[in-house]
């Protein structure tokens, strides 16, 4: 299924798209599964993965490291797909808030640094590397709880707000990207509940918990079905358009 992600770069009905370069940011459960799926896909000649453990390392809190990784990509070719599979929900002494009484400025700052500011800097440095013509994609992992229109339970202030900010950043960047390449696509994706360290403590009974490989296949399947008219939108792993 993932071969269709790059396949729309064809220039004619019978043209074969040359193998492309793909970039995955984040080597965790979903990021690792995405990289594995893309490496198994003949449509991609090379898949570069960056994170805190890569060489060079990429730290979302350090713009210089993001710029360094972007330079490595530029030296290897023109990417047709950049997928940001990073995110922060809990850890570093923080966990999702249940009430206003639990709001912590340090927690809010950390969530925004990883979930909004970091991805914004990824777009700053990686979107200019996408081709100026033909199909190209930038996708970032958001979360359905970041939807303002869908918020009926409250709580999780830092996570909800930082993902809502990410959605606005994606929407705004997509408008600018369209001016540079009308065929390019920039979207936010909700992966659902995946069996990873991020979601494990919050996977409630009755939820459909996906294996990382299954989640990766579904996300790449969603990308395969998108067109330029979908750029700047927010989709679930089922392909549903989610409310802002």
Q: Does residue 110 sit within a domain? A: yes
Domain span holding position 200: 3-236
Mean pLDDT of the chain: 91
Q: Does residue 151 sit within a domain? A: yes
CATH number reported for the structural domain that contains residue 157 in this entry:
3.40.50.720
Domain count, the chain: 1
CA 82 – CA 139 distance, rounded (Å): 6
Q: Does residue 64 sit within a domain? A: yes
Q: Does residue 244 sit within a domain? A: no
Average of per-residue pLDDT across 110-131: 98
What SS3 class is residue 172? helix
What SS3 class is residue 168? helix
- Higher-confidence residue of 196 and 16: namely 196
Q: Does residue 216 sit within a domain? A: yes
Token reading at 138: 């930038």
pLDDT at 19 (0 to 100): 75
- In order, the DSSP letters of 60-119 are TT-HHHHHHHHHHHHHH--EEEEEE----SSBTTB---SSGGG--HHHHHHHHIIIIIHH
> What's the whole-model pTM score?
0.89
pLDDT at 112 (0 to 100): 98
pLDDT at 195 (0 to 100): 84
- Higher-confidence residue of 4 and 96: namely 96
User: Confidence band (pLDDT; 50, 70, 90) for 203?
Assistant: low
What SS3 class is residue 141? strand
Q: Does residue 241 sit within a domain? A: no
User: Confidence band (pLDDT; 50, 70, 90) for 1?
Assistant: very low
Token reading at 216: 């990766």
Average of per-residue pLDDT across 224-237: 98
pLDDT at 106 (0 to 100): 97
In the chain, pLDDT over 90 holds for what percent of residues?
Answer: 83
Q: Does residue 19 sit within a domain? A: yes
User: Confidence band (pLDDT; 50, 70, 90) for 27?
Assistant: confident
């Amino acid at each position: 299924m993932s071969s269709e992600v790059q396949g729309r770069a064809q220039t004619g009905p019978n043209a074969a798209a040359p193998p492309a370069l793909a970039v995955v940011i984040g080597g965790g459960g979903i990021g690792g599964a995405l990289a594995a799926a893309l490496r198994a896909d003949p449509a991609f000649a090379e898949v570069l993965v960056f994170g805190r453990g890569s060489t060079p390392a990429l730290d979302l809190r350090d713009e210089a490291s993001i710029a360094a990784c972007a330079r490595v990509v530029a030296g290897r070719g023109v990417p047709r797909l950049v997928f940001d599979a990073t995110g922060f929900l809990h850890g570093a002494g923080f966990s999702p808030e249940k009430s206003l009484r639990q709001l912590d400025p340090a927690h809010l700052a950390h969530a925004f640094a990883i979930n909004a500011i970091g991805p914004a800097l990824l777009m700053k440095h990686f979107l200019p590397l996408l081709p100026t013509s033909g199909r190209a994609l930038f996708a970032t992992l958001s979360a359905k709880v970041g939807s303002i229109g869908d918020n009926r339970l409250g709580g999780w202030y830092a996570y909800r707000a930082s993902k809502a900010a990410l959605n606005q950043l994606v929407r705004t960047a997509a408008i600018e990207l369209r001016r540079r390449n009308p065929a390019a696509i920039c979207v936010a994706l909700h992966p659902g509940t995946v069996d990873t360290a991020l979601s494990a403590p919050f996977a409630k009974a009755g939820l459909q918990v996906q294996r990382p490989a299954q989640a990766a296949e579904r996300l790449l399947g969603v990308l395969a079905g998108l067109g330029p008219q979908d750029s700047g939108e927010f989709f679930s792993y089922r392909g549903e358009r989610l409310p802002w």
